[in-house]
Structure 1
Amino acid sequence: MLAEIHVPTINLEKAEIVVDVLIKNPNPVPIPLIDINYLIESDGRKLISGLIPDAGTIPAHGEETVKIPIRLVYDDIKNTYADIKPGSIIPYRIKVDLIIDVPIFGRLTLPLEKTGEMPIPYKPDIDVENIKFERFSFEETVAVLHLRLENKNDFDLGLNDLDYEVWLSDVSIGGAELEKSTKLDKNGISYIDIPITFKPKDFGSAVWDMIRGKGTGYSMKGNINVDTPFGAMKLPISKEGGTTRLKKSKEDGGDDDDEE
């Protein structure tokens, strides 16, 4: 028997795992696959177990790839084992027992084990540190969002895409595209600049507070698409009730006085 493990879906809520088991039957008669028992454990602790009945038949002088779908719900794991923290990487062992009915011999159990590592993903923290004017007019302003992203995972994230919307003073200024991919180091802080265009006239009197350099309330919500050592993930990002400042392009973007 040969086995491979695939993780087609992984996000903050769950991991969808598929164990592919290739079974060869050299006998001249088909062999019924009666039951499949599976268990996933980490450091000797059960994460999930289950039974798949009547799993099919292995044809005579043939072979069959049996797919075993397993869903790991992270909340169930964290509620059971408090020491398993979001952002961590845990070892796992998958045990599979294939129960077959072989002529003459009767029921036989074919055991199979695979080991590996699995992440418990954690969403990054995001802040708009400041918004720097590139070109200002009341009809249309071109600016750059200076974003601070904190990756709280024990693994790197390769940021490929941002899908988000930003509100300044409760007015949406829309979103923008990431110009180039960037690496978010594990347990580290990264900064990225995102160009954006909006219309200050839509803000009413609040625009004068922004022009005078006063703190401006903002919210941000969306998703980031990242590559990880465990496959691609789509992670949510959100920030409610934040405060940022608008700056002129000639100002230095790193002054502490302009960050809150």
Structure 2
Amino acid sequence: MASSEERDTKEREHKEEKEVEKGGFIEKVKDFIHDIGEKIEEAIGFGKPTADVTGIHFPSINLKKADIVVDVLIKNPNPVPIPLIDINYLIESDGRKLVSGLIPDSGTIHAHGEETVKIPITLIYDDIKETYSDIKPGSIIPYKIKVDLIIDVPVFGRLTLPLEKTGEIPIPYKPDIDVEKIKFEKFSLEETVAVLHVKLENKNDFDLGLNDLDYEVWLAEVSVGGADLTKSAKLEKNGISYIELPITFRPKDFGSALWDMIRGKGTGYSMKGNINVDTPFGSMKLPISKEGGTTRIKKNKDDGGDDDDDDEE
């Protein structure tokens, strides 16, 4: 007759055998269901869509804001269109949120097709500077864009496709401008042709390729209009550059201030306008202004002036 210990051992071994058989059966069922699922997917042609950030553009950047467009390429391998339910986006810098938002009902991706979805984002600089006082105008800051695409796919259900992209974005700062002197090319009371010798200080951490400048100049509170930039120039980052701007005016319009101008005593001036520049981040239009400045007027020797080059830049 078997002892109680022997009976317990046999019962335990029998139970373990049953559990092994049960576990094996469950695994076989799981494998069978998985195989059937794959065969169904193959038969009806369903698969998970994919997405990738293919580009980031800055259509417009000025002192107030930056317009950003994120290009996302979505591929749909399925035989039916897929609705793009929501797009969640977030831009952060060093872990700090700069802007976030949601775009609902963003369209449909065609069956067996691919489509580039453009996500427009606007970054307001005042909001950033008010929140993070250490972010200074003229600087370049790192950014990370996070995008979640929420789609509804038959068989799979609702899916979220997370995307990330990093880069740099500028916080532009307007250049300082000064008219160091005005040199006459042709002098008469009826019409005087002169050149403004202008100093521009670029206070940004990136170069500015100066392409165009629209401006208006006031001499002794009399507007003398403006003119086009004769040639392009490169404004080095955190550097000072000199450019020459032609103007034409009528000295007899200046009244008594004319005599101070002729005697070389200097004249008050103001200048206001915009510069159009190329940058590593795209083109920008930046304002320039100078109120209440004072500059010298120099005449050519042919007009009775002292046209030396001792004070040339």
TM-score by length of 1: 0.96
Aligned counterpart, 1:77: 128
State the 1:253 CA deviation.
Answer: 5.5
Aligned counterpart, 1:64: 115
Give the counterpart letter for 1:251 in structure 2: D
Between Structure 1 and Structure 2, how many residues are aligned?
Answer: 257
Whose relative contact order is higher, 1 or 2, with alpha carbons under 8 Å and at least 6 apart? 1
State the 1:213 CA deviation.
Answer: 1.4
State the 1:138 CA deviation.
Answer: 0.2
Distance 2:234 2:202 in 1: 10
Q: Does 1:22 align with 2:78?
A: no
Q: Does 1:116 align with 2:116?
A: no
Return the match for 1:138 from 166, 181, 189.
189
State the 1:135 CA deviation.
Answer: 1.3
User: Matches of residues 227-242 of structure 1 in structure 2 within 5 Å?
Assistant: 227-242=278-293
State the 1:255 CA deviation.
Answer: 3.3
Distance 2:228 2:309 in 1: 21
Write 1 or 2 for the structure with the bigger share of helix: 2
Aligned counterpart, 1:2: 52
Q: Answer yes or no: is the 8 Å Cα contact 1:130–1:253 preserved in 2.
A: no
Distance 2:311 2:110 in 1: 71
SS in 1 for 2:134: coil
Aligned counterpart, 2:149: 98
State the Cα RMSD in Å.
1.4
Aligned counterpart, 1:225: 276
Indicate how the Cα distance of structure 1 residues 82 and 17 shifts in structure 2: closer, same or farther if over 3 A, else same.
Answer: same
Q: Deviations over 1:103-146 (max 9, x none)?
A: 12211100011111100000000011110111110001111101
Q: Deviations over 1:160-199 (max 9, x none)?
A: 1110000001111111111111110100011111121111
Aligned counterpart, 1:159: 210
SS in 2 for 1:75: helix
SS in 2 for 1:15: strand
Where does the alignment leave 5 or more consecutive residues of structure 2 unmatched? 1-50, 301-305
Q: Answer yes or no: is the 8 Å Cα contact 1:132–1:253 preserved in 2.
A: no
Indicate how the Cα distance of structure 1 residues 13 and 161 shifts in structure 2: closer, same or farther if over 3 A, else same.
Answer: same
TM-score by length of 2: 0.80
Distance 1:252 1:216 in 2: 20
Distance 2:184 2:81 in 1: 72
Aligned counterpart, 1:246: 297
Distance 1:239 1:45 in 2: 36
Distance 1:58 1:175 in 2: 52
Aligned counterpart, 1:193: 244
Give the counterpart letter for 1:37 in structure 2: N
Where does the alignment leave 5 or more consecutive residues of structure 1 unmatched? none
Q: Answer yes or no: is the 8 Å Cα contact 1:86–1:122 preserved in 2.
A: yes
State the 1:254 CA deviation.
Answer: 5.6
